[in-house]
């Protein structure tokens, strides 16, 4: 891992963490989850509680090893979330992950696992490199827009970003993981493709023993990895 790059930009992409077969299996099993079976396709919170394949992914040694370096000690898992992002899905608003988790600085991180090729057409991430050095930024309420197949809270509020930071699109190939600093401001593009779903598994981690907010919706809890 290039820890220097992570510390400078606030994110780092590691390729070939998941094999093509692992990606296909994780996608196939997502069709057994509640939101897929209901046909609503909003992100499925905590799929590891319904299917052990997602718990295995959370505990993947290659990811845990990288996260250990990022958080500066032994990590525990906090959350998994499966994003279907079918064509036509709205993007997620500008946010910092630690706004929701309320962990101490530099001990919480996310692993954004691309299960298919992710680019600007099917809804890749947008990041503001360097914003992780600002700590938690203020937020403002925004007019609730239509959030087709997206988390209903995806665009209720957004970070106020200092003008010196400029956005970049982050394209991530299938099987790669984008590690995200807890204070990096990021968002996502809408999926404007005609037939390309953008399946992603999000796994989050915190250094063992550190405090965090469980959340009424997520109900986070420490998970041994």
Tens of pLDDT, residue by residue over 86-113, are: 999 999 999 999 999 999 999 999 999 9
Position 154 pLDDT exceeds 70: yes
Q: With beta carbons less than 8 A apart as the criterion, state whether 157 and 93 touch.
A: yes
Residue 38 CA to residue 102 CA, distance in Å, equals 32
User: Could you identify the residue written with the tokens 């807890």?
Assistant: 182
This prediction's pTM: 0.96
Residue of 185, 168, 179 whose CA lies nearest to 203:
179
What mean pLDDT do residues 21-45 have? Answer: 97
Which CATH number does 3-224 carry? Answer: 2.60.120.620
**Largest pairwise CA distance in the chain:** 45
């Amino acid at each position: 891992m290039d820890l220097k790059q992570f510390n400078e930009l606030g994110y780092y992409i590691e390729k070939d963490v998941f094999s093509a077969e692992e990606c296909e299996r994780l996608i196939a099993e997502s069709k057994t989850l509640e939101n897929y079976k209901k046909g609503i396709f909003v992100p499925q919170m905590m799929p590891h509680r319904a299917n052990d394949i997602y718990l295995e992914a959370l505990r993947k040694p290659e990811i845990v090893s990288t996260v250990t370096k990022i958080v500066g000690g032994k990590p525990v898992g906090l959350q998994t979330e499966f994003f279907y992002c079918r064509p036509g899905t709205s993007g997620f608003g500008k946010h910092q992950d630690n706004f929701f988790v309320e962990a101490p600085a530099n001990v919480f991180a996310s692993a954004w696992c691309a299960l298919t090729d992710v680019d600007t057409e099917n809804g890749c991430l947008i990041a503001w490199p360097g914003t992780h050095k600002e700590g938690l930024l203020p937020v403002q309420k925004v007019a609730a827009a239509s959030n087709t197949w997206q988390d209903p809270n995806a665009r209720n509020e957004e970070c106020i970003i200092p003008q010196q930071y400029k956005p970049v699109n982050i394209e991530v190939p299938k099987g790669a993981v984008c590690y995200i600093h807890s204070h990096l401001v990021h968002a996502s593009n809408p999926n404007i493709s005609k037939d390309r779903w953008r399946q992603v598994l999000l796994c989050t981690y915190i250094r063992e023993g550190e405090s965090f907010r469980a959340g009424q919706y997520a109900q986070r809890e420490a998970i041994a990895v």
